[in-house]
A = this chain, B = another copy of it.
C-alpha cells in the first residue's frame, strides 16, 4: 500500500444560458484514453497551487475566459474512475452569462470546445456523466438563493426568459403568475422601459438589476 500516486484533478461544470437554453461547456478529448469523447474541462493539480487557482487556470488556458463565478461541489474518488492511474477529481460549478461568453471567451489553439444543451449531452468520457449530474443537483440547490440568477443574466432580461431558465434547471414547470410575483417581490430588479422586440407574440418587458443591488455585490 502506498500513497504517492494520488493525482488530483479539478473539473469544472461551466453552465450558461444561451438563447434561452441551459447549456454546459465540454471539450473534445484529442488523445487516448477516451479519444474523441467529450469531457469536462479539467486540469491536474500542481504542487504549488490551490484548487481555486487551478480552476482559474482551466478557465483561462482551456476555456479562454477570465474570472467567473464558481463554487466547489464535490470530490470524487472511485478507484477506477481514471484508467491506469489513480486520479481524484474535485468538481466545481461555474456560471457565466452568455454575453460575457461572446465578449470574452477566446479560442484556444488545439482545443475544441462546444456548448451542449443539457438534455442533449453526448456520451462523456471518464465518469463525467456522474459528475455533471451531481453538479446539476447542487446547482438546483444554489438556485434557491434568490439573487443567484444575476450570474446568468447580469444585464437586461425578460421574466419569461428567466422563468424558462428556472424551469430548465429545476426541471419542472412553474406557474407564470407566481414566478413573476416572487421575482418582483425580491425588489432586486426594475423595469427598463424597453421591450424585447424579438419573437412572435406580445413583446416582453425588459428588466435589469437595480444599481443599489449591484453595488452591494462588490
Using CB atoms and an 8 Å cutoff, list the residues of chain A in contact with chain B.
Answer: 1-8, 44-52, 72, 74-75, 77-79, 86, 88, 90
Contact = CB atoms under 8 A, between A and B. Distances in A.
Given A4-B4, A6-B45, A8-B88, A50 B72 contact: no
Contacts of A2: 46-47
B4 A48 contact: no
By secondary structure, the A interface counts as loop
A83 to B, nearest CB: 15
Nearest to A9: B3
Given A75-B51, A75-B72, A45 B3 contact: yes
B50 A78 contact: yes
A78 B48 CA distance: 9
A45 B78 CA distance: 12
A79 B160 CA distance: 45
A52 B79 CA distance: 11
Contacts of A86: 47-48
Contacts of A49: 79
